[in-house]
Each structure stands twice: as structure tokens, then as C-alpha cells.
């Protein structure tokens, strides 16, 4: 195929795409127009039914909790996949940890970066736990909290060095914690079944005051497990990539 | 079925609808510009940084459209986690090329 023909083929394909795109856009409901009944129903009943004022969390961990289990295991499998693909292969060896940038001198970590990273580590831990443990009262949840918690570990790497990162997050421990988080979520569902209820049915006391931290039963518990799982998964993935970047050399080098 | 319409709640932080519209249009334009900037940035390491800025813009967009939970996810994943993973991968690829 000559470049000229290829261009015509591309232009024809783009024209078709544009037609379908405009056709599809023309059929969209108006801006801010919500047609379905479910959102309105949930908005009316969620708080009184679950005692969780964070209605998004109530939906994620209660009304469509089964869906969230699936999403949870996507992340779990992704982290396991990264750990498997990036394991040390034959012909690779680990050298001393050092940052390298192609084509320039190695820069020592500046004092400014160290101070900022050090100052932010504590708040990141507190913020992460706050978000993960307050899904029932605020628009947060285990996922957001878990990622914020994981950034605390990345800050330790930025402010200190790779050895400190490895010391506070050994791979075996991170693996185990990740499995505990993912398994804990699934186990909450199974616990409901053991009690003769449908999978993931909320079986814990809901508390008396909507919006109290101790309210909402399994919603808060599941959010906690999700936070643990997500934090461990991200630390694992970043750790494996840091391993690859800093330690592993090709055997031929 | 009978669905009671959601009653607008007025708080000290309530802004007039016109102001909210202006905010939403502004952030939509900024996100469009940010996405274009990501595509037009050719150097991968630079692109990761621009992508991080774009993630922050997206987070503000979600906030302006009343989805604070998605804002939190987008801030952590789009502005922090994704660029970090990209930069680490780039560092590894560059070393292998060397």
C-alpha cells in the first residue's frame, strides 16, 4: 500500500468514526439530566438503611459490594502479576543500590527534598488511615486511603534511601499483608454466608447514630480491609519497580 | 413512580448557579488544554510530569462536578501513582538501552 492510499484509508476511517461519534453524542441525555430511578432511590434510603452518611461508600461496600470484590481482586492479581514478571531471572544479578540517570552525573538527594519528604511522611500516614477508616462518614474510603498510605513509603524512599524503603517494607511481609487485605474482604462476605445470610450481607450492628464513626457495620470493616490491601499492593508494585531500577543488572554488564 | 425531587440545600458555602457554571466551563476548558498538552509533549519523562498536572486538573474537574470521592481517587492515582510508575519504568528502560 502506498502512502497516498494509506492516507485515503485513514481519512475515510476517520470520517466514519466522526459520523458515529456525532450520532452517538447527539443521542446522549441532556447535561445534568439523570434518567434512572436507582440513584434517586438510593439517595432516599441509603442513610436510614445503613447508617452510613458516606453514601458512595455505602454503595461501593454494601449495595454493589460483590462488584467491589471483583475490582479488589483485579488490583490483587495485578500486583501479583508485577511481582511474578519482575522476579529476579537467571542472568540477572543485584548490585549495590544506586540511582542512575542516563547521561548525567549522579546527584545526591538535596536537603530540601529530604526535609519535605520527612515532613510529609507522618501526615501521609495519618491522612491515609483517616481516609481508609472514615468511609462511612465521608466521601473517602479504603481505596483512596490505601494509596495515600502507600505514598508514605514512597516518601521514605525519596527522603532517605532505598535501603530504608526495603527495611520498612520487606517483600514477604508486604505480600502477606496484601493477601490479608484481599482475603479479609472476601472473608467478610463468607462470614455472612456462614450466618445464613446472602454473600456480603451486612451482619454487624449498624450503630444508632447515622454518621458516627462506629456506625454502618461491615461497610467500615470492608473499607479497612480494602485500605490495607490497596496500600500493600501499591507498596509492592513500587518496590518491585524500584528493585528493577536500582538493583537488578543484566548479567552481561 | 413518585420520586421526590432533591431539594437544593443552602449553606454558607453555596455559590450562585451562574458562578458554578462558569467554574465548570473553566475547568472543562483547562482539562481539554491539559489533555492536548499531554499528547503534544514528546519526551516521555516530561510527559509523565505533564500527565501528573493533568491528573490534578481532572481532580478539580471531579470536585466541580460534585464527585469528591472520585476527586480523591484521581488525586492519588492520576497525579501521584501513575506518574511514579511511568518514571520508574522509564528509568529501567533507559538503563537497559545504555
Bridge partners (DSSP) of residue A248 are A94
Nearest CA in chain A to B6: A40
Q: Is B68 an 8 Å CB contact of chain A?
A: yes
Question: Does residue A167 lie within any of the structural domains?
Answer: yes
Q: C-alpha angle with apex A178: A63 to A88, nearest 5 degrees?
A: 140
Average of per-residue pLDDT values in chain A: 84
Q: How confident is the model at residue A100 (pLDDT cuts 50, 70, 90)?
A: low
Into how many domains does chain A fold? Answer: 1
Question: Does residue A95 lie within any of the structural domains?
Answer: no
Question: Does residue A223 lie within any of the structural domains?
Answer: yes
Q: Answer whether A102 sits within 8 Å of B84, measured CB to CB.
A: no
Q: Percent of chain A at pLDDT above 90?
A: 27
Question: Does residue A200 lie within any of the structural domains?
Answer: yes
Question: Does residue A243 lie within any of the structural domains?
Answer: yes
Burial tier of A181 (Cβ tally within 10 Å: 0-12, 13-18, 19+): buried
| pLDDT tens per residue across span A176-201 | 899 999 999 999 999 999 998 888 88
pLDDT reported for residue B35: 96
ipTM of the complex: 0.75
Q: What's the whole-model pTM score?
A: 0.80
Q: What is the mean pLDDT of residues B59-84?
A: 90
Task: Please name the member of B69, B92, B98 whose beta carbon is closest to the beta carbon of A56.
Answer: B69
Residue A39, pLDDT > 80, answer yes
Question: Does residue A94 lie within any of the structural domains?
Answer: no
Q: Is B17 an 8 Å CB contact of chain A?
A: no
Q: What is the mean pLDDT of residues A114-132?
A: 91
Q: Is B76 an 8 Å CB contact of chain A?
A: yes
> At which residue does the C-alpha cell 525519596 appear?
A158
Q: Answer whether B81 sits within 8 Å of A43, measured CB to CB.
A: no
Question: Does residue A23 lie within any of the structural domains?
Answer: no
Which residues span the domain enclosing A219?
53-88+110-250
Question: Does residue A1 lie within any of the structural domains?
Answer: no
Amino acid at each position: 500500500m502506498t502512502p497516498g492510499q494509506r492516507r485515503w484509508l485513514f481519512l475515510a476511517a476517520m470520517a466514519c468514526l466522526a459520523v458515529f461519534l456525532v450520532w452517538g453524542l447527539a443521542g446522549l441525555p441532556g447535561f445534568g439530566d439523570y434518567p434512572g430511578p436507582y440513584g434517586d432511590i438510593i439517595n432516599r434510603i441509603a442513610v436510614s438503611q445503613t447508617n452510613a452518611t458516606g453514601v458512595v461508600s455505602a454503595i461501593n461496600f454494601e449495595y454493589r459490594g460483590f462488584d467491589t470484590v471483583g475490582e479488589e481482586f483485579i488490583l490483587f492479581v495485578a500486583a501479583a502479576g508485577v511481582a511474578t514478571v519482575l522476579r529476579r531471572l537467571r542472568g540477572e544479578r543485584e548490585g549495590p543500590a544506586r540511582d542512575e540517570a542516563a547521561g548525567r552525573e549522579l546527584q545526591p538527594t538535596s536537603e530540601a527534598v529530604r526535609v519535605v519528604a520527612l515532613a510529609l511522611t507522618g501526615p501521609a500516614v495519618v491522612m491515609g488511615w483517616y481516609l481508609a477508616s472514615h468511609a462511612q462518614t465521608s466521601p473517602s474510603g479504603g481505596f483512596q486511603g490505601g494509596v495515600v498510605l502507600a505514598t508514605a513509603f514512597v516518601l521514605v524512599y525519596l527522603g532517605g534511601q532505598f535501603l530504608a524503603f526495603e527495611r520498612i517494607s520487606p517483600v514477604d511481609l508486604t505480600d502477606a499483608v496484601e493477601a490479608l487485605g484481599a482475603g479479609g474482604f472476601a472473608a467478610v462476605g463468607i462470614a455472612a454466608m456462614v450466618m445464613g445470610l446472602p454473600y456480603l450481607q451486612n451482619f454487624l450492628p449498624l450503630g444508632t447514630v447515622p454518621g458516627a464513626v462506629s456506625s454502618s457495620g461491615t461497610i467500615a470493616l470492608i473499607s479497612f480491609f480494602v485500605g490495607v490491601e490497596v496500600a500493600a499492593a501499591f507498596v509492592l508494585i513500587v518496590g518491585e519497580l524500584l528493585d528493577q531500577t536500582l538493583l537488578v543488572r543484566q548479567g552481561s554488564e | 413512580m413518585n420520586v421526590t425531587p432533591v431539594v437544593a440545600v443552602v449553606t454558607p458555602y453555596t455559590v450562585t448557579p451562574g458562578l458554578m457554571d462558569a467554574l465548570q466551563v473553566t475547568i472543562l476548558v483547562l482539562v481539554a488544554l491539559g489533555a492536548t498538552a499531554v499528547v503534544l509533549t514528546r519526551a516521555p519523562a516530561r510527559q509523565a510530569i505533564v500527565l501528573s498536572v493533568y491528573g490534578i486538573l481532572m481532580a478539580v474537574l471531579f470536585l466541580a462536578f460534585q464527585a469528591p470521592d472520585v476527586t480523591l481517587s484521581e488525586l492519588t492515582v492520576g497525579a501521584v501513582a501513575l506518574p511514579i510508575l511511568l518514571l520508574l519504568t522509564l528509568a529501567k528502560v533507559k538503563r537497559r538501552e545504555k
